[in-house]
Amino acid sequence: MADISDPLARLPPEILEALTPEQRAAVWEAARPGTWRRHPVNLRLSLPILGIRLFLTVVGGAEHRTNRRRRRDRRIHPLVTFPNVVFLLCMLALSIVIGLVALAAWDEILVFVRSLAPSAGGPLPPRMH
């Protein structure tokens, strides 16, 4: 079985045999897999939503790409596309809902804690036995 990380392994054998060592090296350099360094933030989630499986990957860390590579990446993967805008709007709506639920829960916790504490109106009345 061919090594999927080797781009030369995906070439038909007759083409591969016809390449000189210099041509093989040039093809390898042009088609080599991208090098992903270990990132401090590396979240990879697979989410079952509405009967289909979606994936979400978030990586973050220090920027090591050159200006030229960043310009090329922005051209190939523009930020403002319809799916990206829909995704960001859904994340905004989800964040608002989670925030509202958290605020309501916090209010309930405060009401409960205040019900346990004595009133601030003065000393406690004597206890009856």
Encoded tokens for 107: 């209010």
Q: Is the pTM of this model over 0.75?
A: no
pLDDT, one tens digit per residue, over 83-100 is 999 989 999 999 999 999
| Distance (Å) of CA 120 to CA 6, 77, 110 | 73, 60, 15
Whether 120 has a pLDDT exceeding 60, the answer reads no
d(CA 122, CA 118): 9
Encoded tokens for 115: 């019900």
